Amino acid sequence: MSEKHTDAAIDITDVVCPITFVKVKVALEDLADGQTLAVHLNDGEPIQNVPRSLKDEGHKVLSVDQNGDGTYDLVVEKGGLA
């Protein structure tokens, strides 16, 4: 995984949809617009749904990296599409 500076991080590999997006949304509430959140999530529904839901909410997905172990690391900027 490449080292990127983020303002906060959350691991949602232990929860399933739709709780995955709820946890990300709650974590974003603690950040100011323009700050970034790193999200560690599973393959399947989470990687399909969370980025789309973030965009729908007006946030900008900066990167999605596949880890090779069935997980991904996503970096999102709060309010980046607003």
* Active centre residues (catalytic): 17
d(CA 73, CA 49): 14
Cβ-in-10-Å burial (0-12, 13-18, 19+) of 56 comes to exposed
